[in-house]
Amino acid sequence: MMSASTYDQTKPLLVLKGVKKAFGHHQVLKGFNLELYPNENVVILGKSGSGKSVLIKCLVRLIEMDEGHIEVLGRSMADVEQDELDAIRTDVGFLFQGSALYDSMTVRENLLFPLRRHPGRMRGRSEAELVREALGNVGLEKAADLMPDELSGGMKRRVALARTLILKPKIILYDEPTTGLDPITANEIIQLILKLQDELMTSSLIITHDMDCARVISNRVVILQDGINYAQGTYSELARSTDPKVKAFYKEVQNPIDG
Amino acid sequence: MEFMDLQKIKSTVIYGLEETGHISRFAGRFFAQAFRPPFEWKEFFKQCYLIGYSSLFLVSATGFIMGIVLTLQIRPTMISFGAASYMPNMVGIAFIREIGPMVTALICAGKIGSGIGAELGSMRVTEQIDAMEVSGTNPFKFLVVTRIWAATMMLPLLVIAADFVGLTGSYLIESTRGDVTATLYFGRVFSSLVLGDVIPATVKTFFFGFVIGLIGCYKGFFSKKGTAGVGKAANSAVVLASLLLFLVDFLAVLVADIFYTI
């Protein structure tokens, strides 16, 4: 098994080739292709129901794809056994849209939960030290003993981010990181993500329909439309695109009420 | 009309068979993982506390009332047959063999089964189970195996508590209506019981606990999205677990009967 540290940094960390997924007769993904390179932030833009969440869930095998090839850190996800899959998953952080904090556990226990199951990730440091550091990174040092229901939406997202980062993953998948947050908190989360990525040198795949988030955070934007990677480029390249579908998409996402 | 009815019966039968298959596979998954390390001891003991201790009052109160009601209902008939002195024997056998285990199991199906179904259902809906999975943790082992084990281990203890409190309730009625001491009452209860009463009754309570844990976990773990899904998971956990409890009880009585015959 190839560990993340021995992985060739010039190769893509994630490779998706011809990924297809259908639910009954509804074909959600019709052959999606993507590569994510080290230290890159790729934003996948798509309308609600376009299959963005399905795509990143296929990536970590929360949902099994029907056809295609997914490679994470050089390992084909289709071939791995459960133990190896768990090992890969510790290299791939996942920030859920609703934060998905364990609501029967305190913030501290939430952070310790993945750590205690992967003690090798503690790198000889104590649990208390790692929790303090993780909460310090997201500016919530005093929240360790609070329960999730005592936190605001923004705080929950920060704790979830701290929990994702505590295992020091190489890749982070963000499922709508700013959805449901007010603009100020959303901006704080975006800045926090950028700061932490800069410090930890992670690569990110962010799915969103928040154009501000995509503009600030992305090195590259991929538009998911009709189940395929319809267009890609930098945010400004796509904003200037003359392709009628891309133009219509940008217009619609930026002014959803006008259509 | 008849065609519609046949279609409905057919789809109900197919659904029933499919559900049986899914539950059997879920149970198989439990046995495949239940004896394999690593064990989630901390979660197991937490669940034992939650399932056992937090149900103790309800189970005891129900058992106590059942003991009183049973004695009050049966006493006049026993007196009319001139068999009032056999009251402790009758109540003891009825409680230990059937009433204690069954009433406790049904109470627990309502309290524990629905609790587990709602908890896991809500965790599924809010993606907490997915979050465990992507952090490289086996959610089945952490959530399901621990809860089924805890329910299996705690139910016999709850039944013992219900039996004891129920017999105490019965004794209180006997002592106020008749002239009987605690030593005499419980002496007669225990003298009327044989191992053939106690062992099958105790063994079946492990199966009752297993069924309650299994169905609660199954319904919650595969809960459909949305708050309606959580409600449905909790509700169907109680209904299905109660139904299966009667089935297990029926089978247990049949098996025990074979031993009595031999």
The model's pLDDT over B210-223, given as tens digits with 9 standing for 90+, comes to: 999 999 999 999 99
CA distance A174 to A100: 12
Confidence of residue B240 (pLDDT cuts 50, 70, 90): very high
Mean pLDDT of chain B: 92
Question: Closest residue of A to B38, CA-based?
Answer: A117
| Angle subtended at Cα A216 by Cα A4 and Cα A258, rounded to the nearest 5 degrees | 125
| Token duo for residue B107 | 């109470």
Read off the pLDDT band of B143 (50, 70, 90): very high
Residue A156 contacts B, CB cutoff 8 Å: no
- Please give the share of chain B, as a percent, with pLDDT higher than 90: 79
Q: How far is B13 from chain A (nearest CA, A)?
A: 23
Coil, strand, or helix at residue B137? coil
Task: Read off the pLDDT of each residue in B94-98 and give the average, rounded to a whole number.
Answer: 93
Residue A194 in tokens:
């950028």
Query: Is B25 part of a structural domain of the chain?
Result: no
What is the mean pLDDT of the segment spanning B49-62? 94
Closest CA to B15 of B236, B251, B254: B236
Instruction: Please give the structure tokens belonging to residue A154.
Output: 């923004």
Whether the link from the prior residue into B88 is cis, omega within 30° of 0, is no
Q: What is the pLDDT of residues A138-165, one digit of tens each?
A: 889 899 999 999 999 999 999 999 999 8
Q: Is the pLDDT of residue A255 over 80?
A: no
Is the per-residue pLDDT at A116 higher than 70?
yes
The C-alpha of A33 sits at a distance from chain B's nearest C-alpha, in angstroms, of 22
Q: What is the pLDDT of residues A1-23, one digit of tens each?
A: 344 444 455 789 999 999 999 99
From chain B residues 100-139, the ones with a CB under 8 A of any chain A CB are: 119, 122-123, 126-128, 130-138
pLDDT of residue A180: 83
Check whether B151 has a pLDDT greater than 80. Answer: yes
Say yes or no to pLDDT of A259 above 50: no
Choose from A77, A103, A104, A117 for mutation: most chain B CBs within 10 A: A117
Q: Which residue matches tokens 């395929």?
A: A228
Query: Which tokens is A123 given?
Result: 């790198």
Which tokens go with B189?
């209860």
> CA-based angle A93:A31:A10, to the nearest 5?
50
The ipTM value here is 0.88
> What is the bridge-based pairing of β-strands A203-208 and A41-45?
parallel
CB atoms within 10 A of CB A68: 17
Domains of chain A and CATH, by start? 11-253 (3.40.50.300)
8 Å CB contact between B244 and B215: yes
Strands A26-36 vs A14-23: parallel, antiparallel or unpaired: antiparallel
pLDDT given for residue A120 in this prediction? 82
In a domain, B16, yes or no: no
The DSSP code sequence of B99-157 is IHHHHHHHHHIIIIIHHHHHHHHHHHHTTHHHHHHHTT--HIIIIIIHHHHHHHHHHHH
Structural domain that includes position B138: 39-257
User: Do the beta carbons of residue A157 and residue A181 sit within 8 Å?
Assistant: yes
Top pLDDT among B59 and A249 is at B59
Question: B178 versus B236: which is more confidently predicted?
Answer: B236
Are A100 and B138 an interchain contact pair (Cβ–Cβ within 8 Å)? no
Q: What is the pLDDT of residues A44-56, one digit of tens each?
A: 998 888 899 999 9
A57 contacts on B by Cβ (under 8 Å): 130
Domains in chain B, number: 1
Q: Is residue B8 part of a domain?
A: no
Would you tell me which residues 58-117 of chain A have a C-beta closer than 8 angstroms to some C-beta of chain B? 60, 62, 82, 86-87, 89-90, 92, 94, 96-98, 100-104, 113-114, 117
Residue A57, amino acid: K
Q: Which is higher by pLDDT, A199 or B58?
A: B58
Q: 């503009």: which residue's tokens?
A: A215
Residue that is written with structure tokens 């695109």 in the block = A241
pLDDT for B96: 93
For residue range A229-240, list pLDDT tens digits in order.
899 999 889 888
Q: Are B187 and B205 in contact (CB under 8 A)?
A: no
Does the pLDDT of residue A204 top 80, yes or no?
yes
pLDDT, residue A4, reads 40
Q: Find tokens 């501290």 and name the residue.
A: A108
d(CA B94, CA B61): 18
B205, HSE (Cβ side, Cα atoms, 13 Å): 29
- CA–CA separation, B200 vs B156, rounded Å? 12
Across the A/B interface, how many CB contacts are shorter than 8 Å? 56
Does residue B211 form part of some domain? yes
Residues 221-250 of chain A with CB under 8 A from chain B are none
CB A119 within 8 A of CB A197: no
Q: In this model, does residue B1 exceed pLDDT 60? A: no
Could you tell me what percent of chain B has a pLDDT over 70? 97
The arithmetic mean of pLDDT across residues A110-133, rounded, is 88
| B248: in domain | yes
Residue B53 covered by a domain: yes
Interface contact A89-B133, CB threshold 8 A: yes
What average pLDDT score do residues A17-43 get?
93
pLDDT classification of B136: cutoffs 50, 70, 90:
confident
pLDDT at B3 over 70: no
Contact between residue B168 and residue B64 where contact means Cβ atoms under 8 Å apart: yes
Note the helical H segments in A32-182.
52-59, 82-91, 107-117, 127-137, 153-165
Instruction: Calculate mean pLDDT across residues A110-120.
Output: 90
> Does position A83 have pLDDT exceeding 90, yes or no?
no
Provide the pLDDT for residue A258: 53
Q: Is the peptide bond before B38 cis (omega within 30 degrees of 0)?
A: yes
Please determine, for residue A61, whether its predicted confidence score (pLDDT) is greater than 60: yes
Burial A143-164 (b: 16+ CB within 10 A, else e): bbeeebeebebbbbbbbbbbbb
Picking from A53, A63, A94, A163 by the largest number of B CB atoms within 10 A of its own CB, the best residue to mutate is A94
Burial of A168 (0-12, 13-18, 19+ CB in 10 A): middle
